[in-house]
Amino acid sequence: MTSAARGRHGDSRSLEEGPRRASGRGPQGSTPELNVQHRGLGPEGARALGSALSSHPIIKRLNLRDNGLCVAVAEALAAALSRSSCICDVDLSENQLGVVGARALCAALVANPAMQRVQLAGNDLEMQAAKCLAELLLLNTSLQSLDLSYNQLNGQAGTILGPALAENTGLMELNISWNHLRGLGALAFAWGLEANIFMKILNISYNGFGDLGASAVCEALRANNVLEERNIGYNRISAMGALSLGLGLRVNQTLKILVVSRNPMRNEGCLAVLKAVRNNPASALELLDFSDIQVKREFMDLASSVKTILPELRIKTGASRVEYKKALPPASTST
C-alpha cells in the first residue's frame, strides 16, 4: 500500500483505535495521548479525528506533528478543539497551516479554557498571522507554553506581539527562535517582555535583535524579576551590545540560565558579561553559555575567579559541554 493510501485508509483506523490504546493511565500516571504524527492526514482522517475527540473525552494530549494539514483540515480540527474541554496539550508543528489555518486554530484555542501547551513550530506563519497569535496571548489565560519557532515572523509581527506579551497573564514559556525579529519589531517585542510578570523561559535565538535589541533586552533584565532562562544566541550582538546586557546582569536577581552563544561579541563582549555577573552579589545565575565564541586567557582567568564567588555557576565555552535545556513538567492532568 502506498503512503498516500495509508494516509487515506490506514490513518482513519488508527484514529479510531488510538484513543483506546491511550485511554488507560500508565504505571506512572501518564496523561492519555492521541499520537498521529507523520501520518499525512487528509479530509477523511480529519473527520475521523473529530469523531475520535468527541467520543473519547479522556484525551489530554494531541500530537499531529508533520501531517501536511491543509486549511480545510485545519478548520475541521479547529472545530473539534473548540468543543473539547479536556485537551490541554497540542502539537501541530511542521505542518503548513499558513495564515488562514492559524486563524481558525487560534480562534478554537481561545475558546478552549483547558489549553496549556501549544506547539506551532514550522508552519509558515508570517506577519499576517501575528494578529491572531496576539489575540491568543491576550484572551487565553490558561496557556502556559507556546512554541512559534521556525516560522517567518518579522519585525512587523514583533510590533504586534510585543504589546500582547505585555498584557499576557499566564504564559510561562515562549520559543520564538528561528524567526526574523529585528529592528523596531525586536524593540517592541523586548519592551513587551519587560512588562510581562509571568514568563520564566524565553528562547529568542536565531533572530536579528542586534545591539539595539540587546539594549532593550538589558532593560527587560533590569525590570523583570521573574524570568529564569533566556536564550539570545545568534542574534548579531557585538561587544557593544554585550556591554548593554551587562548593565542588566548587574542588577538582575532571578535569571538562572543565559545563553549568548554564536554572537559576534568576541572576547571583549564575553568579558563584559562575565564582569557584570561578578559585580552582582545577588546574581542567581547557574549557567552562562558562550559556545562558539572565541575567548582568550584573560577570560578564562576571570571565569576561574568568578567561580570562587559563585561556585554553583557553570560557564560554557567552546572547550566545554553543558546541558542547559530544562524540560517543562507535563501539562496538568487534573480534570
Would you give the distance in Å from CA 75 to the centre of its chain? 24
pTM: 0.85
Rounded to whole angstroms, how far apart are CA atoms 232 and 264?
12
Give dist(CA 241, CA 233) in Å, integer.
13
Tally Cβ neighbours within 10 Å of residue 56. Answer: 18
Task: Specify which residues 117 forms β-bridges with.
Answer: 89, 145
Phi, psi (rounded to 5 degrees) for 315: -120, 115
Whether 207 is covered by a domain: the verdict is yes
> Which phi and psi (to 5°) does residue 228 adopt?
-115, -30
Q: Are 49 and 36 in contact (CB under 8 A)?
A: yes
- Distance in angstroms (rounded) separating the CA atoms of residues 260 and 268: 13
Residue 226 falls within a domain, yes or no? Answer: yes
Distances (CA, A) of 324 to 117, 133, 319: 21, 28, 15
Q: What is the CATH number of the domain that holds 151?
A: 3.80.10.10
Sign of the alpha-carbon dihedral angle for 66, 67, 70, 72: negative
Instruction: Note whether residue 3 is domain-resident.
Output: no
Please compute Rg for the chain using Cα positions.
22
For 31-69, write each residue's pLDDT tens digit.
688 888 888 776 677 667 777 776 666 888 999 998 877
On whether residue 191 sits in a domain, the answer given is yes
Kindly state whether residue 251 falls inside one of the protein's structural domains: yes
Q: What is the pLDDT of residue 31?
A: 64
The answer to whether residue 43 is domain-embedded is no
Sheet holding 314-316, edge to edge: 33-35, 61-63, 89-91, 117-119, 145-147, 173-175, 201-203, 229-231, 257-259, 287-289, 314-316
SS3 of 283, please? coil
- Between strands 33-35 and 201-203, the pairing is unpaired
The count of residues in the chain is 335
DSSP 46-104: HHHHHHHHHH-TT--EEE--S----HHHHHHHHHHHHH-SS--EEE-TTS--HHHHHHH
DSSP β-bridge partners for residue 174: 146, 202
pLDDT the model gives residue 328: 54
Place of cell 507556546: 146
Distance CA 131, CA 129 (A): 6
Any domain includes 300:
yes
Largest CA distance in the chain: 66
In this structure, is residue 34 part of a structural domain? no
Number of domain units in the chain: 1
In the prediction, which pLDDT does 327 show? Answer: 52
Q: Which residues of the chain have pLDDT under 70?
A: 1-31, 42-43, 46-47, 54-57, 319-335
C-alpha cell, 236: 548579531
Domain coverage including residue 101: 63-316
